[in-house]
Amino acid sequence: MMYRWGYPLLLCASVLPDPVLAQITEPPVASATDQQNLVVDYAADYFDRYRPNTALDMVGQLPGFQLDDGEDIRGFASAVGNILINDEYTSAKQDLPSAILARIPASQVERIELIRGEVRNIDLHGRALVANIILRANVPTAVRWDAFLEDNSAAPLKPGLSMSLSDVVAGIEYNVGMGVERDSSGRYASEKILNSSGTITETRTEDTSESGLKISGVYLNASRWMGATLLQLNSKFNMTDSERDTLNPRLKAPFTGAGELVTLVDKEKNSQFELGMDAERELADELTGKAILLLFREQRQPVSTQRNFDSTAKQTQLREASTDNQRTEAIGRFEFDWAGITDHSVQLNAEAAYNELDGSLTQFVDKGQGPVTVAVPGANTRVEEMRGDFLLKDTWSLGLFKLDYGMGAETSTISQSGDAELERNFFFLKPQAVLGYSPNQGNQTRIRLAREVAQLDFNDFVSSVVLEDDDLALGNPNLQPDTTWIAELGHERRFGKLSVIKVTLFHHWVSDVMDLLPLTPTFEVPGNIGDGRRWGVEIENTLPLETLGLTGARLDVKLRWQDSSVVDPVTGEHRIFSGQSGDGGYRTLANLSRNNKYSFRIDYRQDFEQARMAWGWTAAERAERPVYKVNELELNDENMAINTFVETTRWFDTKIRLSAENILNYTIQRNRTVFTGARDNSPVDFYANRERHIGYRFVLSLSGSF
């Protein structure tokens, strides 16, 4: 398989000129027209007030810009995020743009461009805005370092250290480094079990701590011009080896005696390796070609063990589930840009990909008579996919208007073997069109129409055990991607360099909505439940507060409100889409725009330039997220999350930052209503209401470069 993807790249390399001709090119320059209409340029000295240490620090202060690391999904184009470095996306998926930017010293950045439309044949992949980091040529050697110590009220101390080296040797620009930290976290909770009449029948508490080793990355990024060809390499390895221990005492009514004790031990061993390479050169006048090769390998081997003890401390049950999942992805991609027609820029992209998930699960239960193997349907399976993706599009410049239109197509074959034997073929057409009107740098109006195909998560094909709920998460071999027609209308208004407001209205028509599909009156699987709609508005604003007497202060606001409608496969009535279960993403105040009614985030920052100090805070909240299961309605919700920080660069040009995170120790509520059968016509069996806390944290970090 590998040689088929690698051959085009080797062919490109074989026709390269003598390496002696290699040289580092000057940073790209936007034309005067681009600068006026589609590019907002921020020179490096614009960020001086923020005393940045890294390119990531600089990107975080761009007005009206939210960094998106992309998604860990199949394919390349949707996973690269909204960051460019010298006009180029990185040929990587696991090495996130934010991690790469954190390794680039701020002294190496010449300027940052906010690109709001197609310029210099840069493909925005349907995004309204990308940030382009322009690096200085011939920069000196730089070492970047970062150390932190986190004190979590619910977990042991968590130290971490990362270092990277940037240099140029024999014409090769490279960045190499490593990060390591203790994998430490904790949580505690209380839960009440109530019968159908609302009477408490059982109380539970939970005390969880996790500790281990995490290699956050061993990485190498390198690039070299060989004549007219730019070669780039990105590689990363990361590993986690940790253990999470949970004590779960349970006391039943009438709440006398010692009760039952349940212990859960989850051992996690994960490793990931990724290698990405690309070659780009001018093939002819006005024609540029690029070849990309990406290989990814992941192995996950979690083992979960549950032990039940009675009031005399005698073990009454032992339950263990061992999983071994291996995931492989190989991508070969070609991109061609042709500007041979006046006022037109034509792009042709072709991508071939192979994806594989080989999963196995073994489970046994021992109630005192010896271990008994428990079969889980769909737990041992192999899923393979061959996928092809094609896109031909044109960007037509019409004075102050730009029309970006094209047609894409996707074909795939998904086969499954093991517990389920199945093969299916899919074909989708993906038209797209974006019309932008940019009368000046301060105003832009954008209309977008497109059809998108969701990327399947292969883990949804494989069954797993949820010991925490004494439940199974069954896989579905018949799952297919949903498709969405997207209509967006957005307007951006900038008042100088700092102040900006953006408003985007959107409406989505979704076919084959991916949700939870009834399998039996008590089990469901990820599946397609029919057609639905999603609509709403997103507002982003950056506001300087000088007029209020707050010198050096700014406020960044992001607000999203949405509604949705789909027919519930259990009740036959219209409801909103299911949301995300659990509290994933909320700890870092990221991923706030899931399937819920609203989410908002407010960031305040004030810089005292003479004192070389700054302080600020962040507040975020999102609406409750319902999950509609066949015999259960689960509601997940949190209180407002608030972080605050103070930082200084007064000593040795080292940034010293003290953060207080989750200072309110918000409550994560999970309320379950479980029915005796399907929830449309079955009585309530019990209620389970849990309140969980992950603790407040103080983080002291020091970072710098030399």
**Interacting residues of 100 by C-beta distance below 8 A, sequence separation 6+:** 83, 85, 90, 92, 175, 221
d(CA 559, CA 88): 30
Distances (CA, A) of 603 to 47, 406, 541, 645: 17, 38, 10, 11
Q: Which amino acid is at 627?
A: V
What contacts 524, CB < 8 A, 6 or more positions away?
474, 516, 517, 518, 629, 630
Which helix (H) or strand (E) segment holds residue 428: the answer is: strand 422-440
**Closest Cα partner for 668 from 226, 188, 284, 210?**
188
Query: Which of 635, 638, 646 is closest to 665 using CA atoms?
Result: 638
Q: In this structure, what token pair is assigned to residue 512?
A: 């084959």
- Region at 672 (left for phi over 0; alpha for psi -120 to 50; beta for the rest): beta
d(CA 678, CA 572): 12
Cα distances (Å, whole numbers) of residue 588 to 305, 358, 618, 679: 29, 31, 11, 34
Cα(209)–Cα(184) distance, integer angstroms: 7
Quote the CA–CA distance of 114 and 64 in Å, as a whole number: 9
Nearest to 590 by CA among 40, 60, 50: 60
Q: Which helix (H) or strand (E) holds 685?
A: strand 684-693
DSSP 380-402: SEEEEEEEEEEEEEEEEEETTEE
The span from the CA of 26 to the CA of 22, in Å, is 13
With contact defined as beta carbons under 8 Å apart, do 523 and 471 qualify?
no
CB 72 within 8 A of CB 93: yes
Q: What integer pLDDT is reported at residue 688 of this predicted model? A: 95
Q: What are phi and psi of 4, to 5 degrees?
A: -70, -40
- Domains, the chain, ordered by start: 2-512 (2.40.170), 513-706 (no CATH)
Residues in the chain, pLDDT under 70: 1-36, 70-75, 77-78, 472, 581-595
* Contact predicate 446/488, CB 8 Å: yes
Q: Report the C-alpha gap between 121 and 465 in whole angstroms.
A: 48
Q: Output the CA–CA distances (angstroms, integers) from residue 560 to 408, 484, 600, 637, in the order listed.
A: 29, 19, 6, 17
**Do residues 354 and 330 touch, judged by C-beta distance below 8 A?**
yes
What CA–CA distance (Å, rounded) separates 238 from 53?
24
Distance CA 607, CA 260 (A): 54
Residue 586 is predicted with a pLDDT of: 53
Q: The whole model's pTM is what?
A: 0.87
What is the SS3 assignment for 623?
Answer: coil
Q: How far is the C-alpha of 460 from the C-alpha of 323, rounded, in Å? A: 15
Q: CA torsion 220→223→226→228, rounded to 10°?
A: 150
Nearest to 48 by CA among 497, 605, 615, 607: 607
The pLDDT, as a whole number, for residue 584 is: 55
283 C-beta neighbours (distance < 10 Å), count: 15
Distance of CA 315 to the CA centre of its chain: 41
The pLDDT, as a whole number, for residue 378 is 78
Cα–Cα dist 377/368, whole Å: 25
pLDDT of residue 76: 73
Beta-carbon neighbour count of residue 140 at 10 Å?
10
* Cβ atoms of residues 573 and 579 within 8 Å: no
Question: Which pairs with CB-CB distance under 8 Å and at least 24 residues apart come from 410-415?
Answer: 410/453, 411/387, 412/385, 412/386, 412/387, 412/388, 413/385, 413/386, 413/387, 414/383, 414/384, 414/385, 414/456, 415/383, 415/384, 415/385
What pLDDT does 24 receive? 33
| Per-residue buried b or exposed e for 185-223, using 16+ beta carbons within 10 Å of the residue's own CB | bbbbbebebbeeeeeeebbbebebbbbbebbbbbbbbbb
Give pLDDT, residue 399.
Answer: 86
* DSSP line for 50-72: G--SBHHHHHTT-TT-------S
Distance CA 311, CA 618 (A): 46
Record the tokens describing residue 303, joined without a space: 């083992």
Phi-psi region of 326 (alpha: psi -120 to 50; beta: other; left: phi over 0): beta
From residue 80, how far is each of 83, 84, 93 by CA, in Å? 8, 9, 6
* Rounded Cα gap, residues 406 and 433, in angstroms: 6
Per DSSP bridges, beta strands 130-135 and 83-85 are parallel
Both structure tokens of 613? 């100090």
DSSP line for 506-561: EEEEEES-EEEEESSSS-EEEEE---EEEEEEEEEEEEE-GGGT-TTEEEEEEEEE
CB atoms within 10 A of CB 170: 7
